[in-house]
């Protein structure tokens, strides 16, 4: 099966080994079929693999092996020499870790040579995470009891309560939310569906929005979209961005607040409270737990602060 991100196309370097291209294509097909990655994510993996295969060809390597750890380290050093920052190098390493892990799991390699290589120290830098107090200030900054305000509060509450992407939030249908059970059905990247719970605060806000605000915003129109603007038009990502910036400014938050800030805060607060990393991965809709692991610094930092505060020799 061929994918859009296949490496066996006109971009193929003559020096590259066809069997390596075939392995890379096999891995990309696995990501497409088994992991359900989006076309954009798949294209990014393909570009990273293409660069690595060209590196192997330039160094006279016609195959991969379980002893490629030194070669991988040399590749990461070359990326740094080429001017790539730690975040970009970390993304390349995540791609190659997945590739080698796949080859080892399929029995193509006897061992995974990338398993012991750590991400660059600054890793995948997160945007600012809001504290619980800052989240409360943001939610309190929704101004009044107008229909649009009830809608805005419900959107903010649900985004934080379920850790949604803003694209997922604005595309929700009314039937995706189960108020009685307290969960939302989300269609995420790669058309992968997940079920995410939400708490009482979000439930109250959504319920009030549905009963009091949404009918007034719809007027004589009909729509299956959960969050609507005037005349029944779907709420847009740009409209949500604008509203969020206004609320953040009104709340006096000095941090840069984006829709993703609430998603990051959701994950960080769960882990800080002791949630299992695998559970957070499922709720975020991450295909690979290595993506979720960038949040674990929060739990480590909190433990360090507690140790310094309470240990007699902290």
297 among known catalytic residues:
no
Q: Choosing from 260, 278, 300, 307, which is the catalytic residue?
A: 260
Beta bridge partners of 194: 186
Q: Are 37 and 30 in contact (CB under 8 A)?
A: no
286 among known catalytic residues:
yes
How many residues are given for the chain?
Answer: 314
Q: Choosing from 16, 89, 151, 263, which is the catalytic residue?
A: 263
- Rounded to whole angstroms, the Cα distance separating 186 from 165 reads 10
189 among known catalytic residues:
yes
260 among known catalytic residues:
yes
Q: Choosing from 151, 165, 203, 269, which is the catalytic residue?
A: 165
- Rounded to whole angstroms, the Cα distance separating 223 from 202 reads 22
295 among known catalytic residues:
yes
52 among known catalytic residues:
no
Question: On the CB side of 304, how many CA atoms lie within 13 Å of its CA?
Answer: 6
Q: What angle do CA 124, 128, 129 make, to 5 degrees?
A: 100
Residue 235 falls in which region: left (phi positive, over 0), alpha (psi -120 to 50) or beta? beta
Q: Choosing from 97, 151, 189, 264, which is the catalytic residue?
A: 189
Q: Choosing from 27, 45, 100, 295, which is the catalytic residue?
A: 295
φ and ψ at residue 137, rounded to 5 degrees: -65, -40
Residues marked as catalytic:
165, 189, 260, 263, 286, 295
């Amino acid at each position: 099966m061929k994918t859009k991100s296949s490496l066996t196309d006109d971009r193929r370097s003559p020096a590259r080994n066809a069997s390596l291209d075939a392995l890379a294509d096999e891995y990309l097909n696995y990501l497409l079929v088994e992991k359900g990655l989006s076309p954009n994510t798949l294209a990014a993996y393909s570009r990273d693999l293409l660069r690595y295969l060209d590196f192997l060809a330039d160094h006279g390597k016609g195959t991969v092996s379980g002893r490629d750890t030194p070669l991988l380290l040399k590749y990461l050093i070359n990326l740094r020499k080429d001017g790539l920052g730690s975040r970009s190098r970390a993304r390349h390493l995540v791609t190659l870790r997945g590739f080698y892990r796949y080859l080892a799991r399929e029995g193509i390699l006897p061992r995974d040579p990338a398993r012991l290589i750590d991400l660059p120290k600054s890793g995948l830098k997160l945007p600012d995470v809001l504290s619980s107090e800052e989240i409360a200030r943001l939610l309190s900054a929704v101004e009044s009891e107008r229909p649009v305000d009830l809608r805005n509060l419900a959107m903010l509450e649900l985004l934080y309560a379920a850790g949604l992407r803003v694209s997922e939030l604005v595309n929700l249908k009314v039937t995706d939310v189960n108020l009685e059970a307290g969960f939302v059905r989300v269609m995420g990247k790669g058309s992968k569906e997940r079920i995410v719970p939400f708490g009482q605060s979000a439930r109250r806000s959504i319920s009030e929005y549905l009963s009091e605000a949404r009918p007034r915003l719809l007027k004589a129109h009909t729509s299956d979209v959960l969050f609507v603007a005037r005349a029944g038009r779907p709420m847009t990502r740009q409209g949500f961005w604008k509203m969020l910036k206004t609320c953040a400014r009104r709340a006096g938050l000095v941090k840069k607040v984006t829709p993703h800030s609430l998603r990051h805060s959701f994950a960080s607060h769960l882990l800080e409270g002791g949630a299992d990393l695998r559970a957070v991965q499922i709720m975020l809709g991450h295909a690979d737990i290595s993506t979720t692991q960038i949040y674990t610094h929060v739990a480590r930092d909190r433990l360090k602060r507690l140790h310094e505060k309470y240990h007699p020799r902290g």
